[in-house]
């Protein structure tokens, strides 16, 4: 099974007016730096501050009217997307979380209209509760990346990009579970088979990268990263996003925490844009020279839901603690 352009066109109709038409704008600094046009798809302008609303909207809209509601256990952008979409479509949403999730994230999801259920002390406990709601209460679980409607919804980004710039040479797509990269590659390549789509992720805990090398989904150790939205595995029983990323991507490039930090500074100090570390990996790949800009290059500024303490520390050149590791601070331009 794979997602086809027809699925993405149908998603485009379903999410119309709610999660669509973000600008695709040039970065003057990156264009000068790369010597090639460098464009950014501004998904930070979505109502929830991230692209995940596209997939969530399309998936929640497909839930049968007699279902008791929807559930998921993401505390990040997917949880926000599901909460917003369910409220919009008049469905009950229950987001399951462990007691270790920071209160700010709990409040953020509640503010979007979802119920929050706090269970246990790990992500696995939250997942078990979500599965229980599916089995005993008839809720429908929405996967953050391995769901046909979610992938088709994220694919609408690729369609919007390639419709305005059919001549684009290369697209650099932040990569985690691969729903975004799979959908975007399927859409863009259906319109222009020559466009290159490269997945970019952090070099620590790159689950999709190691799974593709191993030839099957594998587990990798999860490590704290500035690109926290790119953390997590791809699920050992992955049905869709693994095979699509393996078959459609022209490559995967890994960037370091230092390179992500530098890219966040460039985006802020040069283009005055505040975005998550996960949003900046495309810039990081070009700034580090790991990807050569050989023609018009695009990336997706995927989300802006970052911890402002971390943001201000990075911009003022302070060290940042990433789990056990201390990432040294650096003043921009120094």
Q: Using CB under 6 A, list all residues that contact ligand PLP.
A: 50, 52, 76-77, 145, 174-181, 229-230, 276, 278-279, 302-303
Residues 6+ away with beta carbon under 8 Å from 145: 151, 176, 177, 178, 179, 180, 182, 234, 241
Q: Strand (E) positions, the chain?
A: 24-26, 38-42, 70-72, 93-97, 115-118, 140-141, 170-174, 196-202, 251-255, 297-301, 320-322, 325-327
Query: Judged by CB, which is closer to ligand PLP: 125, or 276?
Result: 276
- Rounded CA-CA distance 93/116 in Å is 8
Q: Shortest approach of ligand PLP to residue 176 CB, angstroms?
A: 3
Q: Shortest approach of ligand PLP to residue 137 CB, angstroms?
A: 26
Residue nearest to ligand PLP (CB): 303
Q: Shortest approach of ligand PLP to residue 331 CB, angstroms?
A: 26
Query: Judged by CB, which is closer to ligand PLP: 62, or 201?
Result: 201
DSSP track, 53-101? HHHHHHHHHTS-TTS--EEE--SSHHHHHHHHHHHHHT--EEEEE-TTS
Q: Shortest approach of ligand PLP to residue 55 CB, angstroms?
A: 8
Query: Judged by CB, which is closer to ligand PLP: 52, or 88?
Result: 52
Query: Judged by CB, which is closer to ligand PLP: 12, or 305?
Result: 305
Query: Judged by CB, which is closer to ligand PLP: 108, or 179?
Result: 179
Whether 167 and 298 have beta carbons less than 8 Å apart is answered as no
Whether 50 and 57 have beta carbons less than 8 Å apart is answered as no
Q: Shortest approach of ligand PLP to residue 101 CB, angstroms?
A: 16
Q: Which residues pair with 41 in a beta bridge?
A: 24, 300
**CA dist list (Å): 256 to 220, 234, 253:** 17, 20, 10
Query: Judged by CB, which is closer to ligand PLP: 235, or 262?
Result: 235
Q: Shortest approach of ligand PLP to residue 157 CB, angstroms?
A: 11
Q: Shortest approach of ligand PLP to residue 65 CB, angstroms?
A: 27
- The neighbour count for residue 66, using CB atoms within 10 Å, is 6
Query: Judged by CB, which is closer to ligand PLP: 39, or 181?
Result: 181
* Short-list 174, 180, 182, 186, CA closest to 283: 174
């Amino acid at each position: 099974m794979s997602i086809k352009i027809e699925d993405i066109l149908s998603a485009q109709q379903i999410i119309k007016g709610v999660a669509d038409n973000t600008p695709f704008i040039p970065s003057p600094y990156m264009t000068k730096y790369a010597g090639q046009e460098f464009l950014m798809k501004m998904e930070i302008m979505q109502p929830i501050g991230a692209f995940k609303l596209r997939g969530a909207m399309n998936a929640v809209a497909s839930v049968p009217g007699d279902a008791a509601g929807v559930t998921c256990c993401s505390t990040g952008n997917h949880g926000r997307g599901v909460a917003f979409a369910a409220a919009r479509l008049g469905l009950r949403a229950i987001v399951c979380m462990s007691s270790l999730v920071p209160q700010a994230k709990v409040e953020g999801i509640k503010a979007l209209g979802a119920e929050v259920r706090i269970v246990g002390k790990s992500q696995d406990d939250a997942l078990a509760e979500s599965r229980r709601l599916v089995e005993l209460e008839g809720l429908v679980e929405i996967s953050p990346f391995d769901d046909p409607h979610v992938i088709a919804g994220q694919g609408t980004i690729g369609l919007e990009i390639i419709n305005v710039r059919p001549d684009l040479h290369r697209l650099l797509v932040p990569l985690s579970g691969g729903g975004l990269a799979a959908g975007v590659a399927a859409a863009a390549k259906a319109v222009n088979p020559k466009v290159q789509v490269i997945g970019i992720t952090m070099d620590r805990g790159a689950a999709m990268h190691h799974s593709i090398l191993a030839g099957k989904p594998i587990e990798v150790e999860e490590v704290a990263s500035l690109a926290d939205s790119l953390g997590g595995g791809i699920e050992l029983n992955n049905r869709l996003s693994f095979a699509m990323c393996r078959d459609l991507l022209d490559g995967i490039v890994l960037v370091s925490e230092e390179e992500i930090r530098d890219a966040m500074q460039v985006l802020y100090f040069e283009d005055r844009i505040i975005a998550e570390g996960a949003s900046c990996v495309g810039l990081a790949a070009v700034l580090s020279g790991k990807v050569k800009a050989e023609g018009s290059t695009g990336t997706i500024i995927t989300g802006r839901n970052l911890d402002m303490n971390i943001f201000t520390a990075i911009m003022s050149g302070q060290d940042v603690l990433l789990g056990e590791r201390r990432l040294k601070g650096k003043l921009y331009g120094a």
